């Protein structure tokens, strides 16, 4: 597989070459269970030599395609290109996974050095006139080659990717494009490293008399954080999600809630060495300039062209439609919370840092439910095993722990995924808890994707990385309901990768379709039948009481105005940045403030991500954060297909697997959905799920 932009990474063990340093694990067969990377043998010093040799080998393979004197065919051009770059793909898959989940000063230094080199290498391929000429000849003569549907889809998207990345530009514009791409690659890395530094640099160290209102589990976790940070006998809170949001929800110390909230929302905006304002402004400017060079009105027009949305107007239509429905709901939620604090004798106005605290009071008032009531039933291991049971009942697969296999981090767990007949599907890694060397959030990635290499099936190796509540004191890891949903979400991505049956390494997944498998999987997490499978009290083993299950179901609409509005605000802000035409010269703080005021964001809510820590738009989801709500239309409509016949209906699950999960990236997204559902998706199930239907 050749690498263009280092996105979906595929791993193939590489053969020894005469020049290879035999001490470098990347230069020989891995010889590990299921050929996973030998993580414990890979050191920082191995990456740069492997990257450099990978690019050298890749250039030779590309040159062989270009110099081939035989007429270009799908086999000697497209398939040969798909096979090129095995070593580079191998090292990149490991390196970028580690830079996100287990970074170090050495890895961060390498990341800054290698990112522009990889951007330049990608441009070498995409702007290679000889290679593009060969691909164009195959594309122009495609009707002569008797191609399969998958091959036609690959060829069409491959050809368009070269055109979209400048293959038809003149030499001057190509040189400018190369410089922009290299600069953007450096800025993206620097942005994410700054967010990590800002997150790690803040601690709120408390005394015992400052813990009023906090549940025992939150206090225990803070005490463990105190020990880990050299603050023995004190309680430490950070801007990591498992730390900040329980504090905002339960602490009775309003000033401390505000302090911690401000630390969270000002990351990257503190006028220090880690300030991201200038970095993001330059990225927005360069993206707009690149779009103009490539012949697009804006960066968003460029990004959306191959996606389901196609043009920015279609994204704005969906977002604005939902905004108009969600804002009144959010305003009503704010009014209800204001009434609570007024009844308590306070006269201050509800602030963003108050929202979680008073929302929890409102939930208790309306549904007699609080998150701490649920946590004892959501022990991490039980949630994980229950999720595996759901997967078994839906798809017949089993997940079995693997001993004596290399792990990407000592805390990670490894599982073999097998069909119901015992045949091997792939390997799944799970990495659950926060670390100072791990990026925030949760994600799913691959060390190896399914494909056919030299006539042999190559099976996937998938990793799910989270930042869930750690065990504290005598308590095991007890998850919040949000964390439970997150695990189901990322597992949905994992089965998408595990079930994929692409013939080729290179696939083309519509980015606004990519969240369908993950968000669809979330629906099972709170189904009563599923809760009874895994929600057991960590001390007594008691199944979650029916009264609690009923409260969970009844509270399904709770806080949906807030959650929808804060998400839509971030999505609209992303689109606003990237629908600026060149020259896009802006001040980030002024632009953000003015735009959110323009769309009518109420003062009690801030955007889910403020600009300077909005990691999604720094690399990967630029002009794409809307994808979650776009996919939400799909996943709510798709789950209705299951509910119509039963949430474990085998025929529906098989159709979903065959028509979507196995085909994803190898055919048109809407056609896959039509093949599964028999019609286009409707928005009504989403509106119903979020309580946004009028009346």
15: pLDDT strictly greater than 70 = no
Counted domains in the chain: 2
Quick one: 5 exposed, middle or buried, by C-beta within 10 A (0-12, 13-18, 19+)?
middle
We report the CATH number of the domain holding residue 132 as 1.20.1050.40
The pLDDT score that the predictor gives to residue 7 is 34
CA-based nearest residue to 520, from 547, 556, 493, 550: 493
Coil/strand/helix, residue 398: strand
Question: Global pTM?
Answer: 0.93
Whether residue 112 is found in the same domain as residue 215: no
State the pLDDT confidence band at 493, using cuts at 50, 70 and 90.
very high
Section 238-260 average pLDDT: 97
> What pLDDT score does 371 carry?
85
CB 562 within 8 Å of CB 268:
no
Q: Mean of the per-residue pLDDT values for the chain?
A: 95
The residue segments making up the domain with residue 212 are 202-265
Check whether 293 has a pLDDT greater than 50: yes
Shared-domain flag, residues 141 and 246: no
Which of the four pLDDT bands, split at 50, 70 and 90, describes residue 695?
low
Helix (H) / strand (E) element for 550: namely helix 546-554
Q: What are phi and psi of 666, to 5 degrees?
A: -120, 0
Task: Report if residue 72 sits inside a domain.
Answer: yes
Cβ atoms of residues 391 and 397 within 8 Å: yes
Answer for the pair 40, 59: CB distance below 8 angstroms, yes or no.
no
Find the catalytic residue in 490, 522, 527, 604.
490
Mean pLDDT (whole number) for 448-477? 95
pLDDT at 12 over 90: no
CA distance 588 to 654: 47
In the predicted structure, residue 224 carries a pLDDT above the cut 50: yes
Question: What percent of the chain has a predicted confidence (pLDDT) above 90?
Answer: 95
Q: For 149-174, what is the mean pLDDT?
A: 98
Which of 265, 293, 315 is a domain's end point?
265
Q: Which residue has the higher pLDDT, 14 or 398?
A: 398
* Residue 22 in this model has a pLDDT that exceeds 80: no
The answer on pLDDT for 9 being more than 50 is: no
Q: What would the two tokens of residue 471 be?
A: 């065990």
Cis ω for the linkage preceding 589 (within 30 of 0)? no
Rounded to an integer, the average pLDDT of 250-275 is 98
The two three-digit tokens of residue 437, written as one number? 């060397």
Cross-strand partners of 417 = 399, 426
Determine the angle formed by the axes of helices 44-67 and 129-140, rounding to 10 degrees: 60
pLDDT digits (tens, 9 = 90+) for 272-288: 999 999 999 999 999 99
Least confident of 29-38, 467-476, 532-541: 467-476
Mean pLDDT on 655-668: 98
Q: Which of 89, 193, 106 is nearest to 438 (CA)?
A: 193
User: How much is the average pLDDT of 211-225?
Assistant: 95
State residue 473's pLDDT score: 85
47 pLDDT above the threshold of 80: yes
Whether 143 is covered by a domain: the verdict is yes
Same domain, 88 and 157: yes
Phi and psi at residue 691, to the nearest 5°: 65, 35
Please give the Cα distance from 277 to 201 (Å, whole number): 18
Q: How far apart are CA 434 and CA 236, in angstroms?
A: 14
Domain ends where: 226, 243, 265?
Answer: 265
CB 664 within 8 A of CB 509: yes
Question: Same domain, yes or no, for 119 and 53?
Answer: yes
* Domain assignment of residue 271, yes or no: no
DSSP structural state of residue 543? B
Q: Is residue 413 part of a domain?
A: no
The pLDDT score that the predictor gives to residue 17 is 37
Is 509 among the domain residues?
A: no
Let me know whether 102 and 155 are in one domain.
Answer: yes
Same domain, 151 and 228: no
Residue where a domain stops, chosen among 111, 142, 164: 164
**pLDDT score for 472:** 84
Domain annotation covers residue 118: yes
pLDDT of residue 20: 55
Do residues 136 and 230 share a domain?
Answer: no
pLDDT interval class at 503 (50, 70, 90): very high
157 and 31 assigned to the same domain: yes
Instruction: Assess contact for 300 and 511: CB atoms under 8 A.
Output: no
Contact 417, 426 (CB under 8 A): yes
**What is the pLDDT, as a whole number, of residue 19?**
53
Q: Is 490 a catalytic residue?
A: yes
Domain match, 132 and 84 both: yes
Asked whether residue 160 falls in the same domain as residue 35, the answer is: yes
Could you tell me where the DSSP H helices lie in 102-215?
A: 105-126, 129-140, 149-164, 171-201
pLDDT bin (cut points 50, 70, 90) of residue 694 is confident
pLDDT digits (tens, 9 = 90+) for 175-212: 999 999 999 999 999 999 999 999 999 999 999 999 99
In a domain, 273, yes or no: no
- Shortest CA distance to 660 belongs to which of 527, 453, 459, 519? 519
- The answer to whether residue 484 is domain-embedded is no
Number of other residues whose CB lies within 10 A of the CB of residue 517: 26
What pLDDT does 619 receive? 81
- Residues 142, 70, single domain; the answer is yes
Tell me: pLDDT of 537 over 60.
yes
Q: Please give the structure tokens belonging to residue 162.
A: 């070269």
Whether the per-residue pLDDT at 1 is higher than 60: the answer is no
**Hey, which residues does 206 pair with through a beta bridge?**
235
Tell me the average pLDDT across 158-174: 98
């Amino acid at each position: 597989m050749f690498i263009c932009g280092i996105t979906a990474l595929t791993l193939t063990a590489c053969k020894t070459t005469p020049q290879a340093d035999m001490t470098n694990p990347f230069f020989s067969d891995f010889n590990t269970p299921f050929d996973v990377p030998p993580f414990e043998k890979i050191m920082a010093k191995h990456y740069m030599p492997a990257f450099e040799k990978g690019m050298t080998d890749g250039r030779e393979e590309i040159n062989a395609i270009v110099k081939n004197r035989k007429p270009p065919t799908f086999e000697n051009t497209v398939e040969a290109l798909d096979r090129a770059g095995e070593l580079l793909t191998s090292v990149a898959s490991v390196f970028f996974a580690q830079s996100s989940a287990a970074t170090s000063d050495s890895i961060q230094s390498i990341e800054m050095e290698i990112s522009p080199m990889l951007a330049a290498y990608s441009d070498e391929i995409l702007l290679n006139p000889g290679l593009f000429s060969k691909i164009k000849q195959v594309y122009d003569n495609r009707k002569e080659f008797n191609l399969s549907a998958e091959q036609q889809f690959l060829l069409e998207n491959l050809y368009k990717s070269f055109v979209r990345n400048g293959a038809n530009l003149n030499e001057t514009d190509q040189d400018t494009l190369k410089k922009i791409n290299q600069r953007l690659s450096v800025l993206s890395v620097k942005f994410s490293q700054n967010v990590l530094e800002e997150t790690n640099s803040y601690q709120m160290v408390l005394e015992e008399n400052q813990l009023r209102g906090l549940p025992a589990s939150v206090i225990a976790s803070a005490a463990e954080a105190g020990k880990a940070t050299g603050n023995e006998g004190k309680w430490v809170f950070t801007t990591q999600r498992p730390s900040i949001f329980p504090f905002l929800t339960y602490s009775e110390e309003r000033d401390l809630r505000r302090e911690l909230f401000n630390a969270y929302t000002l990351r990257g905006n503190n006028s220090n060495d880690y300030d991201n304002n200038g970095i993001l402004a330059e990225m927005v400017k360069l993206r707009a300039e690149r779009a103009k060079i490539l012949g697009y009105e804006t960066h968003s027009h460029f990004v959306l062209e191959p996606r389901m949305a196609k043009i920015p107007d279609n994204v704005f239509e969906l977002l604005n439609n939902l905004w108009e429905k969600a804002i009144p709901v959010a305003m009503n939620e704010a009014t209800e919370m204001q009434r609570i604090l007024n009844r308590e004798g306070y006269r201050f106005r509800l602030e963003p840092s108050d929202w979680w605290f008073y929302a929890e009071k409102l939930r208790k008032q309306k549904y007699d439910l609080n998150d701490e009531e649920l946590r004892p039933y959501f022990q991490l291991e039980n949630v994980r095993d229950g999720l595996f049971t759901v997967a078994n009942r839906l798809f017949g697969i089993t997940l079995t722990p693997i001993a004596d296999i290399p792990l990407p981090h000592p805390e990670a767990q490894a599982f073999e995924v097998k069909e119901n007949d015992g045949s091997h599907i792939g390997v799944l890694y799970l990495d659950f808890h926060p670390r100072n060397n791990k990026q925030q959030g949760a994600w799913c990635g691959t060390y190896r994707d399914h494909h056919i290499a030299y006539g042999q099936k190559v099976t996937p190796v998938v990793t799910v990385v989270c930042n869930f509540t750690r065990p504290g004191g005598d308590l095991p890891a007890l998850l919040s309901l949000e964390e439970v949903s997150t695990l189901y979400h990322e597992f949905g991505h994992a089965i998408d990768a595990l079930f994929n049956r692409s013939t080729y390494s290179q696939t083309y997944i519509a980015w606004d379709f990519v969240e369908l498998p993950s968000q669809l999987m979330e629906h099972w997490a709170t189904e009563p039948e599923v809760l009874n499978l895994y929600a057991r009290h960590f001390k007594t083993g008691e199944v979650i009481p029916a009264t609690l299950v009923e409260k969970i179901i009844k509270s399904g609409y709770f806080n949906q105005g807030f959650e929808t509005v804060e998400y839509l605000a971030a999505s609209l802000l992303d689109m606003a940045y990237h629908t600026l035409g060149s020259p896009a010269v802006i001040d980030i703080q002024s632009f953000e403030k003015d735009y959110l005021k323009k769309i009518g964001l109420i003062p009690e809510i801030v955007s889910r991500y403020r600009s300077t820590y909005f990691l999604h738009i720094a690399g990967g989801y630029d002009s794409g954060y809307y994808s979650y709500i776009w996919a939400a239309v799909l996943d709510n409509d798709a789950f209705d297909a299951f509910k119509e016949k039963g949430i474990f209906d085998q025929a529906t699950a098989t159709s979903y697997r065959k028509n979507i999960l196995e085909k994803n990236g190898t055919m048109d997204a809407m056609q896959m959905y039509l093949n599964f559902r028999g019609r286009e998706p409707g928005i009504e199930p989403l509106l119903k799920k979020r309580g946004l239907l009028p009346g």
